[in-house]
């Protein structure tokens, strides 16, 4: 794997793209290394992640992602003016993340990010040919009520301080009032991060494996696979897939460690591929034992989901583990082509050993809106 180059020196980056974005990157780097206060008793809040810029925060920044998440999926009631609603929410995201909003009740926002996306129905009202206009098709191993499939609006709230998350959700939903009708919500958490490469670390999931290693982590890969380059109304945005997956933990835990590793294709303890190397190494999918068996088994998750094997692009996975309504994973991926997700899951199909341990209970896709600032309100490129 190439080392991520998303944290260039401040000077080099300022030269290339200007100060606002550089400030965002710098804050993202510092977010996970916030020092304790001088008494050493309590940690100071993590450094802020600017809400404005070319892209919304909460997708690549901060890295690593904050430990607490709440995702709220809602419908926009008929007749509501979407443009003004999004612009209003964007202004609130600005005041909440900068800590100038009385609705925070005095809590420092720290590294709070609020990331907003619109569902296919709303995108189609603008232009049915835009990226984000297509619904996700149904897939095998789903048990999804109509309420938990699709939705018009995603509000993804992430923060280091677990208390900030529901306070911010309440503020935003109260502000939207009866313009929104909530469909489902999901909170999630991420444990300690394991270093992967320079500028990249990832947590373990409920199966005990490090999750979030392979993805578009370099600036070049993010341009190619993550951010939408156009058309103009969506440029700087990306497509999100959100799937709540229940995990059959007792059945997985009953396997030996070797069997668990065969399901994933990586070592549980250190994240290295079963073909060897370190956590940062790409799996060598052709490598075999002397008696001719694949080191990374034919049905291992990292083989079935591998972008080259699938013939798809890279997706940025930013999943959170969940305890309720059942133990599992709120799988979240961001990519600039929905086919990256659909081809991967189709290829995993019935032959991915991991999928036998999962049931998907909620599913939705969203166009994550391009970044915004004072002059260009959230959503204005689409609904302005």
Binding footprint of ligand HEM on the chain (CB under 6 A) = 205, 207, 209-214, 245, 247, 264, 266, 283, 301-302, 305-307, 315, 329, 331, 341, 344-345, 348, 354, 358
Closest C-alpha among 156, 135, 90 to residue 383 = 90
Shortest Cβ 374–ligand HEM spacing (Å): 37
- The smaller minimum CB distance to ligand HEM, of residues 82 and 196, is found at 196
Q: What is the dihedral of CA 13, 196, 273, 319, to 10 degrees?
A: -90
Compute the distance between CA of residue 221 and CA of residue 214 in angstroms, rounded to an integer.
Answer: 11
- The smaller minimum CB distance to ligand HEM, of residues 107 and 194, is found at 194
- The smaller minimum CB distance to ligand HEM, of residues 59 and 329, is found at 329
- The smaller minimum CB distance to ligand HEM, of residues 127 and 259, is found at 259
- The smaller minimum CB distance to ligand HEM, of residues 97 and 365, is found at 365
Shortest Cβ 124–ligand HEM spacing (Å): 24
Q: In terms of residues, how long is the chain? A: 384
Shortest Cβ 300–ligand HEM spacing (Å): 9
- CA–CA distances in Å: residue 255 to residues 148, 249, 250, 261: 31, 10, 9, 10
CB–CB of 85/106 below 8 Å?
no
Compute the distance between CA of residue 93 and CA of residue 258 in angstroms, rounded to an integer.
Answer: 46
Shortest Cβ 279–ligand HEM spacing (Å): 9
Compute the distance between CA of residue 373 and CA of residue 206 in angstroms, rounded to an integer.
Answer: 37
Closest C-alpha among 98, 118, 104 to residue 171 = 104
- The smaller minimum CB distance to ligand HEM, of residues 46 and 264, is found at 264
Helix (H, G, I), strand (E, B) or coil at 86: helix
Compute the distance between CA of residue 345 and CA of residue 352 in angstroms, rounded to an integer.
Answer: 9
CB–CB of 76/122 below 8 Å?
yes
Shortest Cβ 342–ligand HEM spacing (Å): 8
Compute the distance between CA of residue 156 and CA of residue 58 in angstroms, rounded to an integer.
Answer: 8
Shortest Cβ 230–ligand HEM spacing (Å): 25
Compute the distance between CA of residue 174 and CA of residue 373 in angstroms, rounded to an integer.
Answer: 23
Compute the distance between CA of residue 275 and CA of residue 53 in angstroms, rounded to an integer.
Answer: 41
- The smaller minimum CB distance to ligand HEM, of residues 4 and 109, is found at 4
CB–CB of 212/203 below 8 Å?
yes
Compute the distance between CA of residue 344 and CA of residue 338 in angstroms, rounded to an integer.
Answer: 10
- The smaller minimum CB distance to ligand HEM, of residues 109 and 313, is found at 313
Shortest Cβ 364–ligand HEM spacing (Å): 13
Shortest Cβ 47–ligand HEM spacing (Å): 26
- The smaller minimum CB distance to ligand HEM, of residues 331 and 372, is found at 331
Q: What is the dihedral of CA 109, 151, 243, 205, to 10 degrees?
A: 10
Shortest Cβ 310–ligand HEM spacing (Å): 8
Chain centroid, CA 147 distance in Å: 22
Shortest Cβ 120–ligand HEM spacing (Å): 18
- The smaller minimum CB distance to ligand HEM, of residues 219 and 360, is found at 360
Pairing of strands 328-335, 200-203: unpaired
């Amino acid at each position: 794997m190439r080392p991520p180059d998303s944290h260039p020196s401040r000077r080099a980056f300022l030269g290339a793209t200007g100060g606002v974005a550089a400030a965002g990157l710098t804050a993202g780097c510092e977010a996970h290394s916030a020092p304790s206060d001088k008494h050493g008793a309590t940690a100071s809040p993590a450094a802020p992640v600017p809400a404005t810029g070319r892209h919304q925060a909460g997708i690549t920044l901060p890295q690593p992602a904050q430990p607490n998440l709440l995702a709220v999926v809602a419908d926009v009631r008929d007749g509501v003016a979407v443009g003004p609603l999004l612009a209003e929410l964007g202004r609130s995201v600005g005041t909440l993340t900068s800590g100038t909003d009385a609705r925070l009740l005095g809590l420092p926002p720290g590294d709070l990010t609020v990331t907003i996306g619109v569902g296919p129905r709303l995108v189609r009202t603008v232009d049915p040919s835009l990226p984000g206009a297509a619904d996700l098709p149904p897939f095998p191993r789903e048990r999804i009520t109509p309420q938990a499939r699709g939705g018009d609006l995603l509000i993804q709230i992430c923060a280091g301080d677990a208390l900030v998350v529901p306070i911010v959700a309440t503020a935003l939903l109260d502000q939207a009032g009866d313009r929104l009708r909530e469909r489902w919500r999901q909170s999630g958490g991420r444990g300690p991060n394991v270093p992967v490469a320079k500028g990249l670390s990832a947590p373990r999931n409920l199966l005990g494996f490090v999750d979030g290693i392979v993805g578009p982590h370099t600036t070049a890969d993010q341009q190619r696979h993550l951010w939408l380059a156009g058309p103009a109304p969506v440029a700087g945005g990306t497509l999100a897939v959100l799937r709540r997956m229940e995990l059959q933990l007792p059945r997985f835990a009953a396997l030996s460690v070797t069997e668990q590793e065969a399901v994933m294709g990586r070592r549980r303890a250190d994240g290295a591929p079963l073909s060897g190397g370190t956590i940062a190494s790409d799996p060598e999918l052709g490598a075999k034992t002397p008696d001719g068996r694949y080191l990374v088994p034919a049905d291992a998750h990292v083989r079935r989901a591998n972008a080259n094997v699938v013939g798809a692009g890279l997706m940025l996975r930013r999943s959170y583990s969940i305890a309720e309504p059942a133990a599992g994973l709120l799988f979240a991926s961001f990519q600039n082509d929905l086919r990256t997700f659909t081809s991967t899951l189709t290829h995993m199909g019935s032959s991915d050993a991991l999928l036998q341990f999962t049931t998907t209970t909620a599913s939705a896709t969203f166009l994550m809106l391009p970044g915004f600032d004072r002059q260009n309100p959230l959503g204005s490129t689409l609904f302005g």
